[in-house]
Amino acid sequence: MARRVYTLLLWLALPLIVLRLVWRARSEPRYLHHWGERFGLTRPRCRGPAIVVHAVSVGEVRAAQPLLTMLREQYPQYDVVLTCTTPTGRATALEVCASTALVVYLPYDFPWALRRFLEATRARLLIVMETEVWPNLMAVCAQRGLTAVLANARLSARSSARYGRVAALSAPAFASFARVAAQTEADARRLEACGARQVQVTGNLKFEVEPPPALLKQGAAWRAALGGRQVVLAASTRDGEEELVLAACAPLLADGVLLVLVPRHPPRFAAVAALARARGLVTHLRSEGTAERGTQVWIGDSMGEMPAYYALADCAYVGGSLLPFGGQNLIEAAACGCPVVVGPHTYNFADAAEAAIATGAALRVADADALASTVGELLGDDERRRAMASAALAFAAAHRGAGRRTLALIEPLLPRSP
C-alpha cells in the first residue's frame, strides 16, 4: 500500500520533475541532455546480458571505478552498464569508466521505465552503490527475480532516522537486497535496523582508488613552476564555505601563499571566482591555464584533476565540513599523501575522518578561525607536514582490500555463464 501511494505521488509530481530539469539546466545545460534515458525511452545498446552498477554522482562513480575494473576482468562474458543520476556523475563516468562500462542514466523510479531499462540491458545482477535505495527499483527487481546487491553501503545516523520515518516504504526496499556490503560495523548496524539482511562489513571501496601517476606528475610540475611558493588547497567546497575560507586565508595570501579553490559543484565555478575577485584578489581559472606567479586564488574549474591539485598543495582543507554538509571524501587526499584539515561536520565520512585523525593523517578544527591558524602553523612546520604526509599514505594503504571482499560477496550470486 505504501509503495502504491508513493508511485501515485510520483506520477502527480511528474510535471514538477520535468520543470526541475529545465530549471537546473539554467546553470547546468547538461540537464537537458539524454532525457530519453531518464524516462526509460532510450534502449541501452548492450551486446549481451549485463551487470548493472548504479552510482548516483561523482563520489559514487569514483568509488565504483575499481569494482568495475574487477567485474570486467572476472566476468568478461557480461556487459557492464554504469548508471548515474546527475550530469556531473555521468560526465565523470564517461571520463574514467568509458573503457570498462556503458554509461547511461538510470530512469526515474517509475515501474514502467525501470522495466524497459532492465529488459533492454538483460540485467543479471544489479549493484547499487552506497545508499541510493529506490522503492520501485527494488520492487521491479524482485518481480523479475533479479538479484540486487548494495555495495560500499554507508548510512549515517541522520539518514537512518529519515528512513525510519518512512519504514513502511523503505524497509521492504532494504530487505530486497540479497547481500549488503557495509563500509563499517556502525553502518552495518544501522542498515540492519532499516530492514537490510545478509549484511557483511567489507570496508570502503574508495580506499581502492589509486591516484593516476600522470596526475600526480602534473601536480608536481605545477608545484615546480611556482618556484617554492606555498600552496593551500580548499577541495570540494560547498556553498557558503568559500567566503569563510577566503576570509580565513586573507593574511596567508597577503604573505604570498597561493590558495587553490575547487568547488564541489561545477555550476558554481564562475560565482566562486567572482567572490574572490570581489575581495580584490588576483584570481584565475584552471581553464585559462596554469597559475601565474601573481595569482593569489586559482579556481579549479576542471573535472578529474583532483589528484593533481592534492599533489600541488602543501596541505588541504576538505570541504563540506566547516558548515553542516557532512563533509566530503578525504580518502583521495590521503592516497595522494596530502596533509588534511577538516571542520567539525564529517558525519558523511565519520569513520574515515576519525581514523585519519587518529593516525595523524588529518587534523580537525572547530571553525574558520581555527582553520586559518592551523593551516598557518602547518605551512611553518615542514617536519610536521612531512610526518602527516607519510601518515596519510600509510592510512590509505592500510585500509585497502574492500574490492576483493566485495567481489567475493558477489561471486556466489552471479553465474559464470549468462
Backbone angles phi, psi at 214, to 5 degrees: -65, -35
Neighbouring CB atoms inside 10 A of 240's CB total 10
Yes or no: say if 138 and 145 are a contact pair by the CB < 8 Å rule.
Answer: no
Q: Rounded to 10 degrees, what is the CA torsion of 135, 137, 138, 144?
A: 140
Residue 308's nearest CA partner among 176, 180, 211, 206 is 211
Residue 178 carries which DSSP code?
S
Which grid coordinates are listed for 135?
522503492
Active site residue 411: no
CA dist 407 and 288 (Å) reads 42
CA dist 158 and 163 (Å) reads 9
Residue 186's nearest CA partner among 157, 161, 162, 164 is 157
| 57 burial type by CB count under 10 A (0-12 exposed, 13-18 middle, 19+ buried) | buried
Yes or no: say if 279 and 251 are a contact pair by the CB < 8 Å rule.
Answer: no
Residue 37's nearest CA partner among 98, 103, 124, 119 is 103
Neighbouring CB atoms inside 10 A of 349's CB total 26
| Residue 286 amino acid letter | R
Please report where in the chains the cell 543479471 appears, as a residue: 124
Yes or no: say if 233 and 310 are a contact pair by the CB < 8 Å rule.
Answer: yes
Strand-pair partners of 316: 233, 340
φ/ψ bin of 85: left (φ > 0), alpha (ψ from -120 to 50), beta (otherwise): alpha
3-state secondary structure of 114: helix
Residue 349's nearest CA partner among 141, 187, 236 is 187
Which grid coordinates are listed for 157?
545516523
Q: Which of 28, 37, 60, 208 is catalytic?
A: 60
Q: Please identify every residue annotated as catalytic.
A: 60
